[in-house]
Chain A
């Protein structure tokens, strides 16, 4: 054995970075294995972070003490808050990033963590002894030992790239696939599957006719992802715009010419692709009556010559791609630097992992990221930090870390994966979170700082400041709910704004519920003579929280009631070793599903499709006896 680490992380992508840095910061020795140490945190697909629900994940990762938000802030060349016209629960931060700088910033962070070593070797075998992780073997036939192994190998497991009917082995353009890991796992009983994802062609910036395209600039006052980013000199880099164009019927006709050489339609691709991110050929076939499809031209970096054509993911033959591109407005003379391609890769259907992301089959082995069937940098990073934290907790004999569905999108993500498994690449959406109104980007710190601090991933002074703020928020809410505004003052204010008057004096909270009114405006009306209000007016973050809690009080209350109903059985644990075949009262389908998923709680069991309410009752009774 060359060396033994507490934790080995295989893969230096978004999941791997979070896993390795969380593990190392928590005091474990970590070996981060990558085939190319210049590719840490490489953005394989679009040069952007965040977006609806994904931006929520970044905020949560950040509140746990993770890295993604900080890296995105430092390398961001455009920031936008999506859904700004909606309520705060669905505001979603999104950034365009300089692809090179992103990798650079990621490397900087990883390289500066003590106890974290980067090992530039390709892992070819996972070594397991008596259902416990032992270590890994690399292509150089070196053996490394570990107490915990986190596999975050992205699209590299037996990666196969397709452009037309040409297939090339590889996990990413110009990079080798990882061979051997899947085989060593299926040999010991893991079930593997195949997924597909795609990427669009890259275009040369100077060959595009920008003048005819619709510009989409970033926000005028951009907000950073990270709770730790200093907003005073933000953004750090010059800001760029994106541009919008559309396909039309002639583009569709040209693409159709290549359908007989499409690896997708001819059955060459076996893996299942994501429905929410279809290739352009898929869109044309499935939505034949749609006359045009929207495309975004996204810059790849400040001094990059490349443009990413978002919306045009394809695996049609190269010459068809080029011909079709030339029919698109603004791209008549475009130079295609690299064609789009589809990539197929192995994944392990995620019912095989537990909510800690440790596999049920092998102790000390964790899966994070695309290996669990997800898609997206943010989904990967979220799993990475959870796996990293849990690996370290286990080594240190501390209780495990599992987030509830009502606590975080991360909790929803992992519970969905584990309780429902997936047969297409899984992407987060806000609609997946039944407690959406509570899981807002603005309160990620209020939900998760306590964990980040407990694990030593959030500095003490930040945590203390947060706790002070929390006290202020609570007393602010109390004050506004219990104190009335004088009848005269409020009606003066209302008539000034041309709003309907009140008939008697009302609490601050009640007036604040009117959509046209900001809390600050009411508090600015004099006469409260309260230290709480004074402090609140001087603390923008606390004021924002008080306002949201008051404005949406009724809805938030209803959400809490649903949580109580839905999470009644969350704490009733089921032993992993329960033999469901001995329980003859279970329905046949319920028994099979339970056996396959091996849920850890009754709550989780109730979310498995095919498990009926009477199955749940029967289980409750068996657990008791």
Chain B
């Protein structure tokens, strides 16, 4: 039995001190070398060694400083050649790294429980644990079934189901001509076939575009609230907590991080960080607070820069924020408009946390800013899962191959190879496509048989 190489996040998703990405299978070491820049080559490394270096993307851009641990078969968790990459504890970093590995085409995302399954199959886990492993796989597939019934996944599978149907229709036309050449039937012409393939590609493209939205929906958005003392950060924060339909959690600030609250607006998770101050200080306690504030700002996807109508324009603070974060992330909020404006403020939104004026607009701007578009509604099918994204990408690639074959006017059986591969890939999202589907479609739609 030949296994392929798989990858997944091994630590729980979310923000922690570190994230660990696990890769297992014959290509683990070689593929890690392609993205790892360090003193030593991973593929030359002995087992049970840790290497420090950088992970870069395919164009050479730095993603994160990492530690790579090497485990050679059979002395690894799964019993196969394995690599564990420790990154900083930001889910976006881990996601990006995993994405880069999958881009290579040599590594795929692991199924639920797959590392454990391999560990078992390679005799790394005691026999008495067999049942437990099976239970896990069973439970996870049940959970993903339940998950598939939730609204977001439901919309996606409905959409992919439709695409698969049009793909089967297109494939049927080709198969019809191959298997029933003798029949008195009008076969599909090149233009018609191209049109059908193009339609499917366009649909897939629009799904792929939603992945960013989907990523935001899945991973959540970090929002930092910045402002001088007494501009009303807390009252805005409290207002948001009250207004958002549900409070996801109420994590008190700890010494390790400064997450204040998680709220959900339109199904999107926002993590609100209240920053203390940004200026250097000699007070060691304050210094720690400043350090964390700066970090929150660095990791923020959106910065709510808050001023009020009563104080002057906070130019110096804005400059400092711009040093750490980028301008396109900043939303300038002017609070206390109920008291009247004293200066000519350059604000994106004017609100009063006290009266609630303008606050609904703030919610809207947060959502728009988060997903980078105003196209999204709760009825839009959205790709949230990297595995689904990869399947769609592969389907698209196969369709481009098929398209190429149609243009070159090669015979249908060659076009069919790629159309079927595209169906297989879509099938992996929602359930398998078999040749029976194609034949059934032919029998249903065409009068066949001498």
Identify the A interface with B (CB < 8 A): 46, 51-53, 82-83, 85-87, 89-90, 246, 274-278, 283, 286-287, 290, 292-296, 310-311, 420, 429-432, 434, 436-437, 515, 552, 555, 558-559, 562, 564, 568-569, 571-572, 583, 585, 609, 612-614, 617-618, 620-622, 624-625
Q: Most A CB atoms within 10 A — which of B138, B178, B424?
A: B178
The CA-CA distance from A92 to B417 in the complex, in Å, is 19
Q: Residue B1 contacts which of A432, A572, A609, A614 (CB distance < 8 angstroms)?
A: A572
26 A-B pairs with CB atoms under 8 Å apart are A52-B181, A85-B411, A86-B178, A86-B413, A87-B410, A246-B184, A275-B448, A276-B448, A283-B449, A294-B184, A294-B450, A296-B450, A310-B450, A430-B178, A431-B175, A431-B438, A432-B439, A437-B417, A558-B417, A558-B418, A585-B134, A585-B135, A617-B111, A617-B134, A618-B137, A621-B120
B127 at the interface (CB under 8 A from A): yes
Interface of B with A (CB < 8 Å)?
A: 1-3, 111, 113-114, 117, 120-121, 127, 130-131, 133-135, 137-138, 140-141, 175, 178-184, 408-414, 416-418, 420-421, 424, 434-436, 438-439, 443, 447-450
Q: Which 8 pairs, one residue from A and one from B, show the smallest C-beta to C-beta distance?
A: A614-B141, A294-B184, A87-B411, A287-B447, A86-B411, A585-B134, A625-B130, A431-B175
CA A87 – CA B405 in complex, angstroms? 13
In the bound complex, what is the Cα–Cα distance between A294 and B175 (angstroms)? 20
Provide the bound-state CA to CA distance between A311 and B183, in Å.
10
A430 lies within 8 A of B179 (CB):
yes
Q: Is the CB of A86 within 8 A of B439?
A: no
- CB of B178 within 8 A of CB of A52, answer yes
Neighbouring B residues of A420 by C-beta, 8 Å = 436
Cα separation A46 to B121 with both chains bound (whole Å): 53
- CB-based contact A621/B182 at 8 Å: no
Q: Considering only CB atoms, which chain B residue lies closest to A620 in the complex?
A: B121
- The listed residue (A310, A555, A624) touching B120 by CB distance below 8 A is A624
Number of inter-chain CB pairs below 8 Å: 139
Q: Output the least CB separation between B441 and chain A (Å).
A: 11
Contact indicator B447/A558 (Cβ below 8 Å): no
B-chain residues with CB within 8 Å of residue A572 when the two chains form the complex: 1
Given A53-B179, A558-B421, A559-B417, are A621 and B117 also a contact pair (CB < 8 Å)? yes
Query: By the criterion CB–CB under 8 Å, are B184 and A564 in contact?
Result: no
Given contacts A52-B181, A275-B443, A310-B450, 5 further A-B contacts (CB under 8 A): A52-B180, A86-B181, A286-B447, A621-B137, A625-B127
A290-B447, A431-B439, A617-B113 given as contacts; is B178 within 8 A of A552 (CB)?
Answer: no
CA distance A125 to B55 in the complex (A): 74
Closest beta carbon of chain A to B180's beta carbon, Å: 7
Which residues of B lie under 8 Å from residue A89 when comparing CB positions? 413
The A contact surface, by secondary structure, is loop
Residues of B with C-beta under 8 A to A292: 184
Residue in contact with A431 in the complex, picked from B121, B130, B141, B435, CB distance below 8 Å: B435
Closest CB in chain B relative to A554 CB, distance in Å = 9
Instruction: Verify A621–B413 contact, CB threshold 8 A.
Output: no
Q: Is the CB of A614 within 8 A of B138?
A: yes
Main secondary structure of the interface of B (DSSP, over half): helix
What residues of chain A lie closer than 8 Å to B424, measured between beta carbons?
Answer: 562
CA distance A585 to B1 in the complex (A): 23
Q: In whole Å, how far is B47's beta carbon from the nearest beta carbon of chain A?
A: 24
Cα–Cα, bound, A290→B449 (Å): 14
Instruction: Chain B residues near A286: list those with CB within 8 A.
Output: 447
By beta carbon, the residue of chain B nearest A420 is B436
Q: Which of B409, B414, B436 contacts A552 (CB 8 A)?
A: B414
A275 to B444, CA, bound (A): 9
Also in contact, A293 and B175, with CB within 8 A (given A552-B414, A618-B134, A620-B121) = no
- Which A residue sits closest to B130, measured CB to CB? A625
Closest B residue, CB atoms, query A556: B417
Asked whether A311 lies within 8 Å of B130 as measured between CB atoms, the reply is no
B125 shortest CB reach to chain A, Å: 10
Task: A276 to B447: give the CA distance in the assembly, Å.
Answer: 8
Distance A284 CA – B232 CA, assembled complex (angstroms): 78
Report the bound CA distance from A294 to B410 in whole Å. 28
Q: How far is the CB of B397 from chain A (nearest CB, A)?
A: 11
Q: How far is the CB of B375 from chain A (nearest CB, A)?
A: 34
The answer to whether A429 and B439 touch (CB under 8 A), given A52-B178, A293-B184, A621-B121, is yes
Alpha-carbon gap, A278 to B2, bound state (A): 44
Query: How many whole Å from B445's CB to the nearest CB in chain A?
Result: 9
A52–B439 Cα distance when bound, in Å, is 14
- A517 vs chain B, min Cβ distance (A): 14
CA distance A87 to B114 in the complex (A): 41
Select from chain B the residue with minimum beta-carbon distance to A83.
B181
Q: How far is the CA of A500 from the CA of B117 in the complex (A)?
A: 55
Cα–Cα distance between A82 and B408 once the two chains are bound (Å): 22
Bound form: Cα–Cα A614–B131 in Å: 14
A552 neighbours in B (Cβ, 8 Å):
414
The CA of A622 and the CA of B184, in the complex, are separated in Å by: 52
Set of chain A residues within 8 Å of B435, measured between Cβ atoms: 431-432, 434
Q: Which of A293, A430, A585 contacts B413 (CB 8 A)?
A: A430
Would A621 and B178 count as touching, CB distance under 8 A? Answer: no
- C-alpha spacing A429/B127, complex, angstroms: 45
CA distance A250 to B341 in the complex (A): 88
CA A499 to CA B138, docked complex, whole Å: 60
**B130 CB contacts on chain A under 8 angstroms:** 621-622, 624-625
Given contacts A437-B413, A552-B414, A620-B121, whether A90 and B138 have CB atoms under 8 Å apart is no
Indicate the member of A277, A292, A558, A618 with the most B CB atoms within 10 Å: A618
A434 in complex: contacting residue of B140, B410, B418, B420, CB < 8 Å: B420
Minimal beta-carbon separation of A50 from chain B (angstroms): 12
Residues of A near B420 (CB, < 8 A) are 434
CA distance A356 to B141 in the complex (A): 34
Contacts of B140 in A (CB 8 A): 614
Assess A277 versus B121: contact at CB under 8 Å? Given A431-B438, A431-B439: no
Residue from the list A85, A87, A621 in contact with B133, Cβ < 8 A: A621
Q: Which residues of B contact A622 (CB under 8 A)?
A: 130, 134
B414 contacts which chain A residues (CB < 8 A)? 87, 437, 552, 555
Q: Which residue of chain A has the shortest Cβ distance to B117 in the bound complex?
A: A617
Q: Residues of A contacting B412 with CB < 8 Å?
A: 86, 90
A568 to B121 CA separation, bound complex (whole angstroms): 14
B142 CB to closest chain A CB, in angstroms? 9
**A87-B410, A434-B435, A621-B117 known; A562 vs B421 contact (CB < 8 Å):** yes
How far, in whole Å, are A431 and B410 apart by their CA atoms in the complex?
Answer: 17
Contact B1 A569 (CB under 8 A): yes
Task: Answer whether A82 and B181 are a contact pair too, CB < 8 Å, given A434-B420, A624-B130.
Answer: yes
Do A52 and B450 form a contact, CB below 8 Å, given A437-B413, A569-B1, A614-B137? Answer: no
| Residues on the A chain within 8 Å of B443, using CB | 275-276
Of listed A310, A437, A571, A621, residue having the most chain B CB within 10 A: A621
Contact at A564–B178, with CB atoms within 8 Å? no
Complex CA gap A552/B181 in Å reads 22
Note all chain A residues with C-beta closer than 8 A to B137: 585, 614, 617-618, 621
Residues of chain B lying within 8 A (CB to CB) of residue A620: 117, 121
Smallest CB separation, A547 vs chain B (Å): 15
What residues of B have a CB within 8 angstroms of the CB of A246 in the complex? 184
Chain B nearest CB: distance from A249 CB in Å?
15
Shortest Cβ distance from A325 into chain B, in angstroms? 16
Q: For A585, what are the chain B residues with a Cβ–Cβ distance below 8 Å?
A: 131, 134-135, 137-138
Chain A hits for B111, CB < 8 A: 613, 617
Contacts A614-B137, A621-B117 known; A571 to B1 CB distance under 8 Å? yes
Tell me how far the C-beta of A93 lies from the nearest C-beta in chain B, rounded to whole angstroms.
13
Q: Are B411 and A564 in contact (CB under 8 A)?
A: no
